[in-house]
Structure 1
Amino acid sequence: MGNRSGSVLVLTNPLDVTADAVLRVLAERRVPVVRLDPGTDLHTGASLTAAYRTGDQRGTLHTASRELDLSGVRSVWVRRASPYEGPPDLDGQDRRFAASQCFWGAGGILASLPDAHYVNHPWANRAAEHKPAQLAAAQRFGFLVPDTVITDNEHEAREFVTSHTDGAVYKPLWNTPYSVNGQPHAVWVREVSEAEITAAVSVCPHMFQAKVDKAFDVRVTAVGDRLFGVRIDSPDLDWRQRQDRMTCTAIDIPEPVARSIAAYLGEFRLVYGAFDFAMTSAGDWYFLECNPNGQWAWQPAETTTAIAHAIADQLVKGSGT
């Protein structure tokens, strides 16, 4: 039986305004909440202890303002916590050692709380973040998937691009931090030509997809069995590049797509998922990806409010039946 009256533990950084939207709902409902950024807070005054004995597991989180019995946590919302980088006053291998111990120790404790309901469990998030696994699951559960190749072979990449006369695009497999002249630089989805395929492809796997002749994009935010769809009209191939240029309106989700989403979430044991689709003029929904921890507060106010309440509902109910 889960703990349906204890605290909600929110793992995120202090600048996460998306989390704030849900925390306001929980405050209105008078649900006790503890917010923790383990990658930094555990080096600046917070502490974490767990004890394991035959037939018993206990733990305590101390923060600047609270002492939390970890056996009383009803739900854990895994949002956008800072990475485990080790204490800033350490250097070199000492800091790397401390960072790895934090990841495996503190991260392991927070991922193993008895009877807690996770949204999403961090290990489920990690499993669902791999683009190849996403595409394989999407195929199994009936989504339309653009022709895709992931390769570190120059010949294979060039052959793929040239064979798709309606165009091909390049997509990074992970949103890796990147800078140009010391300034942060995002790597967006973009069209790629045969001339751009060089031996540099061999440095690492690259993902190429057939360009979908889309009429618009669709974001479906899934929270449990509740789905929130918005149509995205943007002048850009990648609507994230200039969000001030896009418009969003609510859209209905066809039943076959909804069934595939439910099966996909079940496969990865996800409570939450942000699904991106390209919609053609013929009404075909092409699966592009599912971010298991995608942002959602940029959507129209009524959609954002509904999603915030749906997430709060998950966190309030805990794991109890």
Structure 2
Amino acid sequence: MDGRPVLVSTQVEDATADLVITELNQRRVPVLRLDPGRDFPDPAVLSARMGPDGWSGVLTVGQRTVDLGSVRALYHRRPNVYAPDDDSQSSKFAAQENRRGLGGVLASLPGCLYLSHPQSIARAEYKPVQLATARRFGFMVPATLITSDPAEAKTFTAEQPTLYKPLHAADYDVGGEPAGIWAAPVEPGELDHAVSRCAHLFQAQVPKTADVRAVVVGDRVFCVRIKSPPGVVDWRAHYRNLSYEAMACPEEIRSGLLRFLADFGLGFGAFDFAVTAEGAWWFLECNPNGQWAWLEAAADLPITAAMADLLENGEARRD
């Protein structure tokens, strides 16, 4: 490849990454796409050497090769994990070597902009850390309990209207079909000894009138007001019944968002807020690699261009 390339690390089917890659192609920015957990060691081949200026060498995927020392940016989107081919000891060993070898090199490229760094994303995925960080930067955070004690859970849910929320949006199947675990109201009488089987997150329910997703790319903030039917708790379970409206971000919220991302070392974040009738914004969570593509079309926002600006230039374009 000629010129300084952008690496895009994601799965084969990723419509969101496709939008960004198309935009970069239109700008004639070289792009190499790979899924490290699936493409290495075949068809991807790595040859990296440590020298005075850091890592140098090449990464080849099929017929395309990039110079590791010239990578301008890495868009760490949603790659597969480094998984063994089978249950053999040698296969498990190889998967861990691949993760620490290729993964380690990709995480330490000289002069490379990360959107965002894989280790920063991993740290920011812990909801307890998110909530503590949000509170530290002045956001209002609903009363929250994380517990494996059924008695504590019963006491908390008796004190106020409460939602149960998963701590991680993991893949889940019901009857062989993929399903989501959404936030849902919970009453004390619904809780039993099953709470003791793992950590559970319970959170006071905010009396919201709307939701807001704030997508932050570099220093650009795109806010969308999401209106759902009355009584809907988690809008993600009702996409067909939602309406969207782009809105300005209050300056105090914008400032907190940028400080939050800087604290984690992130260049991107998809934040969710519950907004009350009085206009109070309650922090719910930040997905450091959240979805945004459908909002771009629904609310007419130039998020793809903002992502491409950052990857191409290493800095956000100011309007």
Corresponding position of 2:129: 133
Change (3 A) 1:54 1:72: closer
Alpha-carbon separation, structure 1, partners of 2:242 and 2:88? 44
Shift of 1:55: 5.4
Alpha-carbon separation, structure 2, partners of 1:175 and 1:142? 26
Corresponding position of 1:160: 156
Structure 1 residue 259 and structure 2 residue 252: aligned? Answer: no
Task: State the SS of the aligned residue for 2:235.
Answer: coil
Shift of 1:197: 1.3
Change (3 A) 1:113 1:156: same
Corresponding position of 1:52: 50
For residues 104-139 of structure 1, give each alpha carbon's deviation from its aligned partner in whole angstroms, at most 9, with x where no partner exists. Answer: 221111111111000000001011110000000110
Point out where structure 2 has 5 or more consecutive residues left out of the alignment: none
Superposed, 1:191-202 pairs within 5 Å as 191-202=185-196
Shift of 1:185: 2.5
Structure 1 residue 228 and structure 2 residue 222: aligned? Answer: yes
Corresponding position of 2:68: 70
Change (3 A) 1:56 1:199: closer
Superposed, 1:281-320 pairs within 5 Å as 281-301=277-297, 303=299, 306-318=302-314
Task: State the SS of the aligned residue for 2:18.
Answer: helix
Change (3 A) 1:14 1:304: farther
TM-score normalised according to structure 1 size: 0.93
Alpha-carbon separation, structure 1, partners of 2:89 and 2:173? 25
Structure 1 residue 102 and structure 2 residue 98: aligned? Answer: yes
Shift of 1:300: 4.2
Shift of 1:305: 5.3
Select 1:117's aligned residue among 82, 97, 113.
113
For residues 245-284 of structure 1, give each alpha carbon's deviation from its aligned partner in whole angstroms, at most 9, with x where no partner exists. Answer: 1111111111111111111111111110001000000100
Select 2:141's aligned residue among 145, 154, 179.
145
CA RMSD of aligned residues (A): 1.5
Alpha-carbon separation, structure 1, partners of 2:280 and 2:94? 49
Instruction: Using CA pairs under 8 Å that are at least 6 residues apart, name the structure with larger relative contact order, 1 or 2.
Output: 1
Alpha-carbon separation, structure 2, partners of 1:56 and 1:250? 43
- Relative to structure 2, which stretch is displaced further, 90-99 or 130-139? 90-99
Corresponding position of 2:163: 169
Select 1:12's aligned residue among 10, 13, 38.
10
% identical equivalent positions: 45
Change (3 A) 1:23 1:304: farther
Shift of 1:240: 0.9
